[in-house]
Amino acid sequence: MDFFKYHGLGNDYLVLEPNRFTAPPSERAIGNICDRNRGVGADGILWGPIYPPAVSAEEGVVAAVRIFNPDGSEAEMSGNGLRIFAWHLWNRGLVQSERFDIGVSGRVVRAAIDGKSEGSVSVELGRVRFDSASVPMTGPGREVLREKLTVGGTEWIINGANIGNPHCVVLCGELDATVAQEVGPLIENHPIFPNRTNVQFMSVLSKHRIAIVIWERGAGYTQASGSSSCAAAAVACRLGLCASPVTVEMPGGTLVVELTDDFDAKLTGTVSAVACGNFAPQFLSVLGMAHA
């Protein structure tokens, strides 16, 4: 099969296995594959399993994966993408243990198959950091909490976070998908974020529950996001608005984020298989790809 399609709460990815092709897809090919009108359609591509993993020195790392956004850029991290990739490895019989490590962007992520029948998968994504150098953000070194940022003629209260990729969590009262779609790209590309950023508009619902709408860097408005859930939950806890565990509500569904006192994040939710198939020869030609 050329591709395997899954979604985590409507956040959909295509897995392309490297042994099937002569080379990874180009930036243009990724855009064509992810196009919902002229391609298969997806919020991103997972290129893996890669053997040997770049972090093969680490015990327990079974394989590595590269994550690509629909615009062809490579993402450092994706919580839902990693949960989907973990389920793919399990579903394909490429791992035997229900606990295993995955390599991504030179890091190691611990995955666990929590529910074999219902597709519940958790990943330990590491520590959430709030300092401006880690996010990264321009300006003096500081913890980026409750800062004011004027975008689109409106002043917003923002918080910076990094969990392997950059995030900007915007405090809101009521959530509006239209605002995320209009203001999200302005914040994503604001000069204060030299590597661009993912954006979450967050409303706190209770001590253990928040709601977010998401604008993803390189992908746009998405139904759900795992790393966004972790970043938003961590900001809510850091501000004293919530306590772990935090259930994160999104248009696509809910994820659960557990945080240690040091803000190490564990993400849990379901994964659903959608389809698998082959690219038509004509489409392969358009992509500039060839089978191995």
Q: Tell me the per-residue pLDDT of 180-195, one tens digit each, with 9 for 90 and over.
A: 999 999 999 999 999 9
**Any domain includes 141:** yes
Is 15 inside any structural domain?
yes
Q: Are residues 263 and 282 in the same domain?
A: no
> Does 249 lie in the same domain as 146?
yes
- Calpha distance 83→110 (Å, rounded): 10
54-90 pLDDT, tens digit per residue, is: 655 556 789 999 999 999 999 999 999 999 999 999 9
Angle between helices 226-238 and 79-91 (to 10 degrees): 130
Same domain, 162 and 111: no
The reply to whether 155 and 239 lie within a common domain is yes
Q: Is position 292 within any domain?
A: no
Report if residue 231 sits inside a domain.
Answer: yes
Instruction: State which amino acid sits at residue 83.
Output: R
Q: Residue 148: exposed, middle, or buried by beta-carbon count in 10 A (0-12, 13-18, 19+)?
A: exposed
**What is the domain range of residue 156?**
127-270
Q: How far apart are CA 230 and CA 162, in angstroms?
A: 9
Q: Which residue has the higher pLDDT, 43 or 96?
A: 43
Clarify whether residues 243 and 229 are in a common domain.
yes
Give the pLDDT score at 54.
65
Q: Domain check: are 77 and 149 in the same one?
A: no
In terms of domains, do 109 and 218 share one? no
pLDDT at 52: 75
Residues 239 and 105 reside in one and the same domain: no
Q: What is the mean pLDDT of residues 199-214?
A: 98
Is the backbone of residue 90 left (phi > 0), alpha (psi -120 to 50) or beta?
A: alpha
Looking at the domain assignment, is residue 239 inside a domain? Answer: yes
Q: Is the pLDDT of residue 226 over 80?
A: yes
In a domain, residue 230? The reply is yes
Domain membership of residue 172 (yes or no) is yes
The string of pLDDT tens digits covering residues 135-172 is: 999 999 999 999 999 998 999 999 999 999 999 999 99
Does residue 73 form part of some domain?
yes
Q: Number of folded domains in the chain?
A: 2
Task: Indicate whether 177 and 149 sit together in one domain.
Answer: yes
Same-domain pairing of 158 and 112: no
Q: Report the distance separating Cα 10 and Cα 25, nearest Å.
A: 23
Verify that 98 and 68 share a domain, yes or no: yes
Q: In CATH, what number is assigned to the domain containing residue 56?
A: 3.10.310.10
What would the DSSP string read from start to end of 19-69? Answer: GGBSSPPPHHHHHHHH-TTTS---S-EEEEEESS-TTTTSTTEEEEEEEE-
Other Cβ atoms within 10 Å of 284 Cβ, number:
16
Question: Which positions ≥6 away from 32 have C-beta within 8 Å?
Answer: 38, 39, 283, 286, 287
- Kindly report, residue by residue over 251-291, the tens digit of the pLDDT: 999 999 999 999 999 999 999 999 999 999 999 999 999 99
Alpha carbons within 13 A on the beta-carbon side of 60: 11
Using CA atoms, how far apart are residues 273 and 88, in angstroms rounded to an integer?
9
Whether residue 224 sits in one domain with residue 140: yes
